[in-house]
Chain A
Amino acid sequence: EAGVAQSPRYKIIEKRQSVAFWCNPISGHATLYWYQQILGQGPKLLIQFQNNGVVDDSQLPKDRFSAERLKGVDSTLKIQPAKLEDSAVYLCASSSGLGAKYFGPGTRLLVL
């Protein structure tokens, strides 16, 4: 079974630029999550999708972050404009609803 795929793996941008991340979940997993993990901290949930509907985006900074999951499969997370404090690893995870969650390799973002 293929795992959760993410791209790019690394991204360096300047503040005020925009960036987009892509995630392809495990086949058949209805639930998809985007987490932000700042160095030394646990992952923080940004947004949770059930199929293509948003279940929880309470911690998503909506003035600059947006996410979509078209057709209930792939998802993209966008930051526009980026700030220095957005430097983090962005993790995508998927779940079949049985409780276990599997993470992708993450995208490391550095904002200069």
Chain B
Amino acid sequence: QKEVEQNSGPLSVPEGAIASLNCTYSDRGSQSFFWYRQYSGKSPELIMFIYSNGDKEDGRFTAQLNKASQYVSLLIRDSQPSDSATYLCAVKNGNEKLTFGTGTRLTIIP
């Protein structure tokens, strides 16, 4: 079992709709969870992180964490063409080690 799993996509969402990205992790001791956006040919860019169960909202982005189910998700409301990118889920353990999933490629269709 991979430490961090994501559906590789591609995920296509119409402009203005909600994009939902999902991630599961295997280590129950994981402490914090991150979502990065990576445009083609660019480095990953941190967009959100979450530590506690529940929802965390930042503008059009909402991160959701369910530690019992070992599941974290990212919702993007009012999707824009500029949101088209690969979204990487990452999980941190107690030693600051950050493990990435393979990423989900998101395409927003105008």
Contact = CB atoms under 8 A, between A and B. Distances in A.
B32 interface: yes
A11 B98 CA distance: 26
Interface residues of A, number: 24
Given A42-B88, A91-B43, A105-B43, A99 B99 contact: no
Interface residues of B, number: 22
B34 A42 contact: no
A64 interface: no
A87 to B, nearest CB: 15
A24 interface: no
A45 interface: yes
A35 to B, nearest CB: 8
6 contacts: A35-B100, A41-B102, A42-B103, A56-B97, A99-B92, A101-B46
Contacts, number: 51
Interface string B1-44: 00010100000000000000000000000001010000000111
Interface in B79-110: 88, 92, 95-103
Q: Is the interface of A mostly helix, strand, loop or mixed?
A: strand
A48 B92 CA distance: 13
A77 to B, nearest CB: 16
Contacts of B88: 42-43
A50 B92 CA distance: 15
Contacts of A48: 96-97
Contact of B102 (A42, A55, A100, A103): A42
Nearest to B43: A103
B101 to A, nearest CB: 5
Contacts of B98: 33, 45, 101
Interface string A90-112: 01000101011111111000000
A62 interface: no
A44 interface: yes
A31 interface: yes
B49 interface: yes
